[in-house]
């Protein structure tokens, strides 16, 4: 079983057209043959410790008028509205006062890629991003490890 690796955003990602110089973008991947939708559902089904961190985040940001559950949408993965989905990529996320963000889940060549793009609007968005970044990396790595474990257990 391979491990979660930090990698480049696949060039065929729809996120590539959004990236500006000052934006944050990261990408991690893991060996898996799950579909983008299957992987996205696993990724956004946070474990208890991550849900606890999100609760703390929501309590803090609500004082600043920021969104805690994302906007209403007919199609969501977790609390992220699905913006687009095709055979190889699902993009979800939304715009808020302090930043725009999207997550991309790509399934190709026996790997699942999870990318996060953030475009801060102001100093508040930049501070927010710096504050959550260590937690973001933990959550992403855990999510992809769960994708791989579930893929492996389904193929045995």
Across the range 100-121, mean pLDDT stands at 95
pLDDT value, residue 76: 81
Report the share of the chain in percent with pLDDT over 70.
89
Across the range 2-16, mean pLDDT stands at 92
Count of domains for the chain: 1
Opening angle at CA 145, ends 51 and 113, nearest 5: 100
Task: Look at residue 97 and tell me whether its pLDDT is greater than 90.
Answer: no
Task: State the pLDDT confidence band at 6, using cuts at 50, 70 and 90.
Answer: very high
In DSSP terms, 119 is beta-bridged to: 100
Q: Tell me the C-alpha distance between 5 and 93, whole Å.
A: 23
Q: Any residues with CB less than 8 A from the CB of 56 and at least 6 apart, and which?
A: none
pLDDT value, residue 84: 93
Domain that holds residue 27: 5-155
Task: Look at residue 156 and tell me whether its pLDDT is greater than 50.
Answer: no
Using alpha carbons, select from 132, 66, 130, 54 the residue that is nearest to residue 97.
66
Task: Look at residue 145 and tell me whether its pLDDT is greater than 70.
Answer: yes
Asked if 29 contacts 113 with a C-beta cutoff of 8 angstroms, the reply is yes
At 23-41, the pLDDT tens digits run 999 999 999 999 999 999 9
Task: Look at residue 140 and tell me whether its pLDDT is greater than 70.
Answer: yes
Q: Any residues with CB less than 8 A from the CB of 100 and at least 6 apart, and which?
A: 93, 94, 118, 119, 121
Across the range 44-59, mean pLDDT stands at 81
Task: Identify the residue with better confidence: 155 or 95.
Answer: 95
Task: Write the CATH number for 151.
Answer: 3.30.530
pLDDT value, residue 151: 73
Q: Tell me the C-alpha distance between 36 and 108, whole Å.
A: 9
pLDDT value, residue 137: 93
């Amino acid at each position: 079983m391979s491990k979660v690796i930090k990698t480049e955003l696949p060039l065929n990602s729809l996120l590539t057209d959004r990236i500006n110089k000052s934006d944050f973008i990261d990408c991690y991947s893991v060996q898996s043959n799950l579909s983008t939708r299957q992987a996205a559902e696993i990724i956004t089904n946070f474990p208890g410790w991550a849900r606890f961190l999100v609760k703390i985040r929501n309590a803090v940001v609500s004082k600043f008028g920021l969104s805690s559950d994302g906007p209403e949408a007919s199609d969501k993965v977790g609390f992220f509205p699905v913006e687009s989905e095709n055979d190889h990529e699902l993009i979800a996320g939304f715009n808020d006062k302090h930043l725009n963000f999207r997550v991309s889940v790509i399934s190709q060549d026996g790997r699942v890629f999870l990318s996060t793009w953030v475009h801060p609007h102001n100093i508040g968005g930049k501070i927010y991003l710096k504050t959550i970044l260590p937690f973001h990396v933990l959550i992403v790595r855990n999510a992809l490890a769960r994708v791989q474990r579930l893929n492996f257990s389904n193929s045995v």
